[in-house]
Amino acid sequence: MKFDYHTHHDRCGHAEDCIRAYIEAAIENHLDMIGISDHSPYLYSEEDHLFPGIAMAKSHFPQYIKEVLQLKEEYQGKIEVLLGVESDFFPEHAEMYQQYYEQFPLDYIIGSVHHVSGLSIFKRNRWEGLTEKQKQETKETYYDLIGQSAKSGIFQILGHIDAMKGYYPAFSTIQTEAVDKTLKTISQYEIAIEINTSGKNKDCGGWYPADELLERALFHGVAVTFGSDAHTPKRVGDEFEEVQKRLKEIGFREWAYFRKKKRYMTEL
């Protein structure tokens, strides 16, 4: 089975082309399933469109749901289209987000931590001037938030769980027990972490998460799934076979897919 659970489109303001183009690309690449998972609105904000270049407007979300459901029906028999969303995780707003999502027939929700201590994880200069202890504390805060997102009950997939290395590759070398602690937490729930192939577009290169973290995930019994994080149709399913091969080498024997928020496992 070939699938991709992490794709975006032009509603978010920083991806190319429409949803249909991603579905067509998935068919061309012989995928069995394509998940549509654009960035959710900033639901906590009183503004309709808080950050136009980052996520869709609140008023756009019902339109997004309607379009994906229509395309799901239209492409039935050609490819399975799944309705998802990539959602930021803000602990202080978690209940509000959960209640909002429950209104819609989502197949899955990707929970991604994009902000730590009020700053984007991709902010290039956030590490400047920090002591080694402060860097360690930042990493621990990041993984604590990921652990909280796992326990929240909102998400089926946890997105790019070492993406903080994106513009700071040295992030991976910061030693802390927080990573193993978080993986142990994740393993207690019927969720999965994604292997996200978009890391090559950042300074760190490669995938999220790194092999070392995947080895620890296997040790702790954490399930994995696949998402390209495509922001252009040409990246749909990007490096699927390479990820599949590497997971087998690491020792994984199966990975997860989702329908109607239920996790299923299939052989690699």
Quick: pLDDT tens for 48-78: 999 999 999 999 999 999 999 999 999 999 9
* 111 φ, ψ (degrees, to nearest 5): -100, 120
Which pTM does this prediction carry?
0.98
71, 83, 168, 259 from 139: Cα distances, Å = 40, 32, 12, 32
Could you tell me if 8 and 85 are in contact, meaning their C-beta atoms sit under 8 angstroms apart? no
Distances (CA, A) of 30 to 33, 45, 185, 235, 265: 9, 40, 35, 13, 20
Q: At what angle do helices 211-220 and 240-250 cross, to 10 degrees?
A: 60
Residue 140's pLDDT band (cuts 50, 70, 90): very high
Question: pLDDT-based confidence at 133, cuts 50/70/90?
Answer: very high
Percent of the chain at pLDDT exceeding 90:
100
Give pLDDT, residue 155. 98
What are the sequence ranges of the domains in the chain? 3-267
Tens of pLDDT along 226-264? Answer: 999 999 999 999 999 999 999 999 999 999 999 999 999
Q: Give, in words, the CATH class of 3-267.
A: alpha beta
Mean pLDDT over the full length of the chain: 98
Residue 209: asked if its preceding bond is cis (omega within 30°), the reply is: yes
Map residue 80 onto helix, strand or coil: strand
Query: pLDDT tens-digit profile of 159-194?
Result: 999 999 999 999 999 999 999 999 999 999 999 999
